[in-house]
Amino acid sequence: MALHIHEAWILLFVLPGLVAPAAINHEDYAADEGDQTSSNDNLIFDDYRGKGCVDDSGFVYKLGERFFPGHSNCPCVCTEDGPVCDQPECPKIHPKCTKVEHNGCCPECKEVKNFCEYHGKNYKILEEFKPSPCEWCRCEPSNEVHCVVADCAVPECVNPVYEPEQCCPVCKNGPNCFAGTTIIPAGIEVKVDDCNICHCHNGDWWKPAQCSKRECQGKQAL
């Protein structure tokens, strides 16, 4: 029995020496992330500072060379301190511009509308039109509409009428005025009742008629 125990102890001391070399072989295991990336720390990137400029796509320009970076349409010059780009004061785009191009450093108007818009309608340059009987308008080269409103004279009657397509009222029955509530024609004396004869003021058609009593007074005296 003592012999077997002694042989067992010998095996325990011998086996670790036989197994250890195979178990500690590092080639059988994947490297850690730190071990994988540590090799990249030795990469060397080119430094163009003071020697050239690099655009957005990675293209290298020499000192003094002009180029257009991808984020701008304005030209840049490569300097030792980096790209120096033009920042011009671009002219304002006309508010009537209908087509703008952005191909250059500054936006450029390629087409200005050649018409005027007035009350929802379009009119050609220098076109004349009448939006209402009393208005005369023209489309100016500035794309603005200029209008003139007719100044009507005071009608010579108390009952003027408006005819279709005419701006100012007209006196269809000629000049007249009021004698009380009666309308009488101008230029003649009118007997409006048994006692009164009236006539209109000359030129002042809006004033009441001048009236005088005549034959009626003699009849009342009898």
Do 56 and 67 contact (CB within 8 A), yes or no?
Answer: no
Q: What angle do CA 164, 166, 169 make, to 5 degrees?
A: 100
Q: Which of 205, 203, 145, 216 is nearest to 177 (CA)?
A: 205
pLDDT of residue 216: 63
141 vs 86, higher pLDDT: 141
Tens of pLDDT along 61-97?
Answer: 888 888 877 666 788 889 888 888 877 788 888 777 8
Tens of pLDDT along 104-118?
Answer: 788 888 877 788 889
Whether the full predicted model's pTM is greater than 0.85, yes or no, is no
The predicted model gives 30-51 an average pLDDT of 48
Q: Quick one: CATH architecture of 115-149?
A: Ribbon (2.10)
Q: What are the start-end ranges of the E strands in 17-157?
A: 52-54, 60-62, 66-67, 76-79, 82-85, 97-101, 108-112, 115-118, 121-124, 128-129, 135-139, 145-149
Calculate the alpha carbon distances from 38 to 28, 33, 66, 211 in Å.
20, 8, 40, 123
Q: End-to-end alpha-carbon separation of the chain, Å?
A: 186
Asked whether residue 206 carries a pLDDT value surpassing 90, the answer given is no
What residues are paired with 185 via a beta bridge? Answer: 176
Domain positions in the chain: 51-110, 115-149, 156-215
**Separation between Cα atoms, residue 2 and residue 192, nearest integer Å:** 167
Do 71 and 85 contact (CB within 8 A), yes or no?
Answer: no
